[in-house]
């Protein structure tokens, strides 16, 4: 299920790897690529966010809203504990942390995040945008709007046949639903 604290911790790891502050577009691309890589490895995303195609590529929708300051209640508190207010095009990590502090992220999650950083961390936001346009076939040009990207589309883009993609996306939706029954974030 989507948890504000979890996506904040993902963002914090990427920002820390970038030296404490990271470009907004670069961050959202890295987070999307981490979810995509997790789909490929484990059949589940890390963030459980919803995805949309926007002009600069695929985006984690709720996370993008958080980055832009659309935060309320406990979710906002969980986000702002880890991530500072967006300044211009930069997002910064608010506090020092170690592995023990990343209580929402499993070792498998962190391995995916580390691999994404290793493969893409040296790219700037425009190179990442271009990469997602060229290599994430689930993205389609929204022409100054946004278009939802289904989990099924992501699985198909990763090579699953239609039947398998449907089954895998149903598994993700079932997991989201079961987790929502226990949610407190």
pLDDT score at 13: 97
- At 8, the pLDDT band (50, 70, 90 cuts) reads very high
> Among 71-80, 126-135, 161-170, 173-182, where is mean pLDDT lowest?
71-80
pLDDT at site 36:
97
User: Which token pair is 103?
Assistant: 């209580």
**Residue closest to 21 by CA, chosen among 89, 70, 75:** 89
Contact 28, 90 (CB under 8 A): no
As a whole-number percent, the residues of the chain with pLDDT over 90 amount to 75
Residues 115-171 pLDDT 10s: 999 999 999 999 999 999 999 999 999 999 999 999 999 999 999 999 999 999 999
Q: Given this model, what pLDDT does residue 155 score?
A: 96
* CA-closest candidate to residue 58, choices 137, 165, 161: 137
The dihedral over CA atoms of 142, 144, 148, 149, expressed in degrees to the nearest 10, equals 50
pLDDT at 157: 96
């Amino acid at each position: 299920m989507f948890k504000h604290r979890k996506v904040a911790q993902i963002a914090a790891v990427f920002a820390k790897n970038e030296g404490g502050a990271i470009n907004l577009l670069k961050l959202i691309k890295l987070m999307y690529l981490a979810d995509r890589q997790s789909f490929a490895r484990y059949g589940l995303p890390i963030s459980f966010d919803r995805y949309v195609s926007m002009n600069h590529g695929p985006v984690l929708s709720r996370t993008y809203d958080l980055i832009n300051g659309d935060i309320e209640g406990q979710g906002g508190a969980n986000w702002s504990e880890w991530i500072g207010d967006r300044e211009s095009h930069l997002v910064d990590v608010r506090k020092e942390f170690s592995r023990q502090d990343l209580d929402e992220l499993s070792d498998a999650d962190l391995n995916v995040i580390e691999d994404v950083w290793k493969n893409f961390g040296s790219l700037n936001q425009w190179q990442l945008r271009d990469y997602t346009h060229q290599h994430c076939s689930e993205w389609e040009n929204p022409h100054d709007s946004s278009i939802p990207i289904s989990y099924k589309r992501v699985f198909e883009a990763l090579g699953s046949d239609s039947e398998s993609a449907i089954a895998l996306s149903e598994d993700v939706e079932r997991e989201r639903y079961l987790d929502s029954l226990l949610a407190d974030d």
